[in-house]
Amino acid sequence: MSSHAALSENDADPAANLARIREEIEGALKEAGRPASSVVITAVSKFHDAARIRPALEAGHRTFGENRVQEAMAKWPDLKADYPDIELRLIGPLQTNKAKEAVATFDVIESLDRPKLAKALAAEMDKQGRRPKLYIQVNTGEEPQKAGLAPADVPAFLTQCQAEHGLEIEGLMCIPPVEDDPAPHFALLAKIAKSLNLSGLSMGMSGDYLLAAQLGATHVRIGTAIFGTRPVH
């Protein structure tokens, strides 16, 4: 099942797009025999300014994703002041030296992928008394240029996060290789999560979110299909 093509920046109405996507996801979930409320849409707002994000907030949407810590720090404090129940999720790679800012800014960090970062996040959480939810990023295609753990390394890393650093891990995240059929990658991530008793599955983007919903996603990350083409940066 394929998703609609993203609309152009001029035509995109974030609130209307969210409503349409939600309806599509509910249809996909019904087909798969999953409850309608099984999947949360993470509206990926990277490169879009507050004016572009507000229509989605006004329509009641509260879960958003950003790729960069600095960008999120610049635009979200004011929005969170107006809408305190926003959940902001970091979906891009995180440098260890940005752990302090990430813990202060985000409610969920989806890109935990190495022991050094686990240690830095644990130290910052203890210092700040703030505990964002954590997802381990899995490199399901084992692509050398991509962040994330190889599937075989996930169980040991999860144990290390829990035993050495006292971190609670909510789930797993993946970004399948662009040229691959995403279905086997989504199925693999779901299988690993089930084997480790993890409830969260962040998988699926603007091109394949319906398939991800059918294969067990709890969160799908959708940007261009909601907000239109991203401004060039």
* Domain locations along the chain: 14-140+155-172+193-201+215-227
pLDDT band at 5 (very low <50, low <70, confident <90, very high): very low
pLDDT of residue 232: 67
Three-class SS state of 6:
coil
pLDDT of residue 4: 45
List beta partners, residue 220: 41
Whole-number Å distance between alpha carbons of 110 and 172: 7
Whether domain 14-140+155-172+193-201+215-227 has CATH 3.40.50.2000: no
Of the listed ranges 3-12, 64-73, 83-92, the one predicted with least confidence: 3-12
Longest dimension (CA), the chain: 50
DSSP code string of 97-117: GGHHHHHHH-SEEEEE-SHHH
Single out the residue of 59, 65, 79 nearest to residue 15, CA to CA. Answer: 59
In tens, the pLDDT along 140-153 reads 999 999 999 999 99
